Amino acid sequence: MDLGLAEDHFSRPVGSFVASDIEQLKLAIEECKKLILELPEHSERQKDNVVKLIHLRLKLQELKDPEEDEPNLRVLLEHRFSKEKSKSVKQTCDKCSTIIWGLIQTWYTCTGCYYRCHSKCMNLITKPCVRSKVSHQSEYELSICPEIGLDRQDYRCAECRAQISLRGVPSEARQCDYTGQYYCSTCHWNDTAVIPARVIHNWEFESRKVCRSSMRYLALMMSRPVLRLKEINPLLFNFVEELVEIRKLRQDILLMKPYFITCKEAMEARLLLQLQDRQHFVENDDMYSLQDLIDISTGRLSCSLTEIHTTFAKHIKLDCERCQAKGFVCELCKEGDILFPFDSHTSVCYDCSAVFHRDCYFDNSTTCPRCARMTERKENPPDQ
């Protein structure tokens, strides 16, 4: 099929387009649209004219928005916009809320917060990059939907300050469940997200409607370990058994860590890298990310962490002689197998980290034998 524009009223010789041709192209497009409607449906002539219409529109877009003049990278309000090369993916502009036609329009995506917009909308952007907020203020709003009321907002969008009302005139007021504030339809697209405050206080994971900026902020914060549950809501451990299980597994992994960082075989096998997606699990046992809590509720984290725990314990207790040599013998009963601090039937001395059978340590009224020896050495140092 010939993709050229043969008719005189549709095209002109190649290379003859100038700025004044834009109006003529618009007229040609309208004539082509009328002709398409007049021709029989599914006829070859109609199909040919549809192709010509597409070609005309591409020509018009080239005159209006020449791609070669657009830079590949633009920085604005801490956004780092990168020009997209995809022509087939249909997206929506975050600024004007209309469709981005990648085939005929130039568009950009922020590499930090994934804000998308037309090239023509770039200079109209007023929203700073959400990633900068995440970098400078890594914390959640922990009150459930902290509404202040539409009247306190002066009946204006909390973000762009456009006039809004509950009646939808001139624009519908939409509430963000994360911030509790009201937004216009341009800033609030009825996207949904899990709300951290509802998870921490009610163990509720139902997605709620949030504004665009909250959606991006929550997405960027999803894997950040910023929730210290034992301070925010310690009673949660009394009602959620899975949290207690995960806390015990994390405590055990922290007790295993000293074995690995002094074991050549463990370092070569890179055992600790099995937790590289949750690095905070090998640093502390009380910080959680929102993704951790979501995975706990679904049971996914319990399965994966139990498997890693089993692998770690197998290396220390069975596979590695060096790690086995660092085990303990219960000095109170001097019986049984070699003990390790992460065993479920053991207790660890808080002062010297010696390991005993749990029954022996709590039932024996004497002090820890290891602590007693250390104290005696300090009081009666050997003669030099």
Q: Give the tens place of pLDDT for each residue, 10-31.
A: 444 434 434 457 788 888 888 8
Nearest to 17 by CA among 54, 61, 52, 51: 61
Give the pLDDT mean for 197-220.
95
Q: Give the tens place of pLDDT for each residue, 246-259.
A: 999 999 999 999 99
Count of beta carbons in the 10 Å neighbourhood of residue 137: 9
Reading the block at residue 160, the tokens are: 């762009």
Measured distance CA(288)–CA(218) in Å, rounded: 15
Counting the structural domains of the chain, the total is 5
The residues, ordered by sequence, that sit 6+ positions from 320 with a Cβ below 8 Å of its Cβ are 263, 265, 266
Measured distance CA(76)–CA(79) in Å, rounded: 5
Q: Do both 237 and 186 map to the same domain?
A: no
Q: Is residue 253 domain-resident? A: yes
Q: Do both 258 and 307 map to the same domain?
A: yes
Q: What is the pLDDT of residue 299?
A: 94
State yes or no: pLDDT of 365 exceeds 80: no
Q: Do both 244 and 319 map to the same domain?
A: yes
Q: Do both 176 and 243 map to the same domain?
A: no
pLDDT band at 62 (very low <50, low <70, confident <90, very high): low
Q: Do both 218 and 149 map to the same domain?
A: yes
Q: What is the pLDDT of residue 38?
A: 87
Which residue, 222, 249, 275, sits at the end of a domain? 222
Q: Do both 152 and 204 map to the same domain?
A: yes
Give the pLDDT mean for 219-248.
94
Q: Strand pairing partners for 75? A: 80
Q: Do both 123 and 103 map to the same domain?
A: yes
Q: Which domain holds residue 155?
A: 140-222
Q: Is residue 30 domain-resident? A: yes
Q: Do both 32 and 56 map to the same domain?
A: yes
Q: Do both 144 and 214 map to the same domain?
A: yes
Q: Is residue 240 domain-resident? A: yes
Q: Give the tens place of pLDDT for each residue, 132-178.
A: 778 777 789 999 999 989 999 999 999 888 999 988 778 899 999 99
Q: Do both 311 and 246 map to the same domain?
A: yes
Give the pLDDT mean for 353-364.
79
Q: Is residue 6 domain-resident? A: no
The residues, ordered by sequence, that sit 6+ positions from 354 with a Cβ below 8 Å of its Cβ are 328, 331, 348, 368, 369, 370, 371
Q: What is the pLDDT of residue 45?
A: 87
Q: Do both 239 and 321 map to the same domain?
A: yes
The distance from CA 106 to its chain's CA centroid, rounded to whole angstroms, is: 27
344 vs 197 pLDDT, higher one: 197
Measured distance CA(101)–CA(106) in Å, rounded: 8
CATH number of the CATH domain containing 194: 3.30.40.10
Q: Is residue 209 domain-resident? A: yes
Q: What is the pLDDT of residue 65?
A: 57
Measured distance CA(32)–CA(29) in Å, rounded: 5
Q: Is residue 135 domain-resident? A: no
Q: Is residue 295 domain-resident? A: yes
Which residue, 46, 64, 82, sits at the end of a domain? 64
Q: What is the pTM of this model?
A: 0.72
Q: Is residue 333 domain-resident? A: yes
Q: Do both 195 and 257 map to the same domain?
A: no
Which residue, 302, 326, 350, sits at the end of a domain? 326
Least confident window among 3-12, 183-192, 199-208, 296-305? 3-12
